[in-house]
Structure 1
Amino acid sequence: MTESAKNCAAHGLRARKREATRSAITAAARRATAQKGLNGFTIEQLCEEVGVSRRTFFNYFPSKEDAIIGHLLDEFPAAAIAEFLAGGAQDSGVERGPHGLSTTLLRDLYTLTCAMAAQLGFTKEQIHQLIAVMKMEPALTMKMMGSSKIREAEFADLIAQREHLDPDDPLVNMAAAVFGTCSHRASQAFFSEENTASYGDLLAGNLRLAQQLFNFSLLPFEGTP
């Protein structure tokens, strides 16, 4: 192995370790919040459970609330991300639709997001506990809502990589915005007290409604782009 290859391998290993540590902190923070409430545990206790120092914690997150929200990419299984990125039209031979995006993009975004939901693995009890915490802690709820813009940007970056387009491409950003809205609405319904449906079913329902809306027979839109 060349020196350059060794350096790349070492860099990749460090990146994976950082992602694993960050993901472990978020998972532990969410469990603790569901069981004890936001004020029921300290950052020191969280660090002890994960096996990291307080300094390490703050290298990843500025606050306990940010640790609970986490990073979107940490929640996706690595294999699911790799499969999603490999599904782009240029690499896999998948055709592009008239809009310029691969025809399987929506289906693959759905599959990727369901893989994330499965990895999180919230039990019904934990879901109800988190609902109770969010009711008691409006600031946490507002912070989670505010993170939707960051997550939308992360979705746009994934879509751009897959479709071999610029992250600032308007089509990429619109795709991320529409899918992000459907995903957000599915999450709201999933974390409601009366819900009995799976996240996948809720997301599929929202995506079908979006498809119906844009496929509806309307007069040609002639507004200024």
Structure 2
Amino acid sequence: MSTTERTRALRRHMIVEARRATVEHGLHGFTIEQLCETVGVSRRTFFNHFASKDDAVLGIEINADVEVIDEYAAGGVVPGELDPLDSVVALAIDQFHRIGIARSDEVLIRQVFEREPALVARFLSATDVQLARITESVRRRFAWDDPTDRRARLVTEAAAALLKVTAETYFDDAFDEATGPAFEALLTENLRLLRAVTTTERESTT
């Protein structure tokens, strides 16, 4: 296992244990020191990865994807011939490969929000910040330098909508993981459906 993989596994371990502790005891029912003891890391190590206990519970890691987003903005990470929407979806798939995704994660975070509803607003705020970062990276990648150009925002919001619909399907209790498509395949299919319906609508009006 590489250093990057070990770091990723450690971060994931801290996130899962923080969420489990929150579900069991509430956000204020355990300390960072207790979490560190459970995971087997020092307080200093914890703060190398997370700015606060809340961030650990929500999985908001310090500078976790800055390098990847910067590389994407510079034309890397995903194939350069992809159009803007395809490239953002490919970036999302790349991130899922890097961090992994499991339906059990969604169940746990749902339980966290049920126990601590106030964290929902914090999560939504963090999501808005991330969307803004992705929007700026799209702007840089495709050299849309005019600050009034709305294309980067439209592309990012469209990709976010695709991810939302895909996640709602994949994490639904009725979804059969054994027979259903993988998250990546489902996201790719939803992108195909979106393009098909928009193309059909365009052709029908010409």
- 8 Å Cα contact 2:11/2:49 also seen in 1: no
TM-score, length basis structure 1? 0.62
Q: Identify if the C-alpha distance between structure 1 residues 154 and 46 changes in structure 2 by more than 3 Å, giving closer, same or farther.
A: farther
Aligned partners of 1:153, 1:167: CA distance in 2, in Å?
A: 16
Aligned partners of 1:113, 1:77: CA distance in 2, in Å?
A: 14
1:32 aligned to 9, 17, 21, which one?
Answer: 17
Q: 1:154 Cα shift? A: 1.4
- 8 Å Cα contact 2:166/2:186 also seen in 1: yes
Q: RMSD of aligned C-alpha atoms? A: 4.0
Aligned partners of 1:71, 1:105: CA distance in 2, in Å?
A: 26
Aligned partners of 2:157, 2:103: CA distance in 1, in Å?
A: 29
Q: Which moved more, 1:64-73 or 1:197-206?
A: 64-73
Matches within 5 A, 1:29-178: 29-38=14-23, 39=26, 41-47=30-36, 49=39, 50-53=41-44, 57=47, 61=51, 63-67=52-56, 68-70=58-60, 74-75=64-65, 78=68, 82=71, 85-86=74-75, 94=81, 103-166=82-145, 168=147, 169-178=149-158
2:191 aligned to 197, 207, 224, which one?
Answer: 207
Aligned partners of 1:115, 1:106: CA distance in 2, in Å?
A: 14
Higher relative contact order (CA 8 A, sep 6+): 2
Aligned partners of 1:194, 1:72: CA distance in 2, in Å?
A: 34
- 8 Å Cα contact 1:182/1:203 also seen in 2: yes
Aligned partners of 2:72, 2:198: CA distance in 1, in Å?
A: 27
Q: 1:81 Cα shift? A: 6.5
Aligned partners of 1:178, 1:211: CA distance in 2, in Å?
A: 11
Aligned partners of 1:134, 1:145: CA distance in 2, in Å?
A: 12
Q: 1:155 Cα shift? A: 1.1
Q: Which moved more, 1:177-186 or 1:118-127?
A: 118-127
- 8 Å Cα contact 1:72/1:154 also seen in 2: no
CA deviation map 1:51-92 (0-9, x unaligned): 3439x739952x4223324159725884x863674259xxx6
Which residues of structure 2 form unaligned runs of 5+? none
Q: Identify if the C-alpha distance between structure 1 residues 84 and 182 changes in structure 2 by more than 3 Å, giving closer, same or farther.
A: same
- 8 Å Cα contact 1:25/1:46 also seen in 2: no
TM-score, length basis structure 2? 0.67
CA deviation map 1:75-124 (0-9, x unaligned): 5884x863674259xxx6x4xxxxxxxx5333332222112112222444
- 8 Å Cα contact 1:182/1:206 also seen in 2: yes
- 8 Å Cα contact 2:32/2:53 also seen in 1: yes
